[in-house]
Amino acid sequence: GCPTKIFHLGDYRREILGAEQPVSFFDPNDTAYTEQKAEIVKLAINDLKKFLDEEVALGRVAIYDASNVERSTRQWIVEELKDHGKVIFIELICANEEMIEESIRRARLKSPDYKALPVEDAVRDYKRRIALRQSVYETIDEKIEKVPFIKIHEGGRKIGISNIHGFLASRIIQFLLNVRI
């Protein structure tokens, strides 16, 4: 294998601000938290760059786990990382309400954000976060964005790939084909 590390934006947020944030924190149209969110993103991206630059050896994988729902954000990420490695975006698309509910209950409710909340309140809160992101969501469009990407629809029922080249990138695809997301 190759050295791999996950840079989860939520972990950075919790470390800096704590686990309990109002739902308005996740509203992309609410400017009250803009500066705080930008600082958290910069910290995560800078740590990611340091990880990629640690060794000269090829084959390091850094996963920036965040909701990059806007084209401008994705373009910023590409620019920030252009001298540090190849960027591949992975977009998860799901309109199936049962699958969304199952995903929230299976994975999201284990988050420290929801440790103190009853399950139904936590599910409601996470669905509100999703709705807020949907208000500004721009799917990756290969006609507009010339970036490598993998789109996973409905938990893996359909997978789209664009501009993917190289051994390590193909191994990532193979992995994603065999894992339930």
From CA 52, how far away is CA 74, in angstroms rounded? Answer: 18
Report the catalytic residues: 65
Closest CA relative to residue 46, chosen from 56, 58, 34, 38: 38
Q: Which amino acid is it at 131?
A: A
Burial class (CB in 10 A: 0-12, 13-18, 19+), 71: middle
Beta strands in the chain (DSSP E): 4-8, 61-65, 89-93, 149-153, 158-162
Query: And the tokens for 32?
Result: 């009250």
3-state secondary structure of 85: coil
β-strand partners of 161: 150
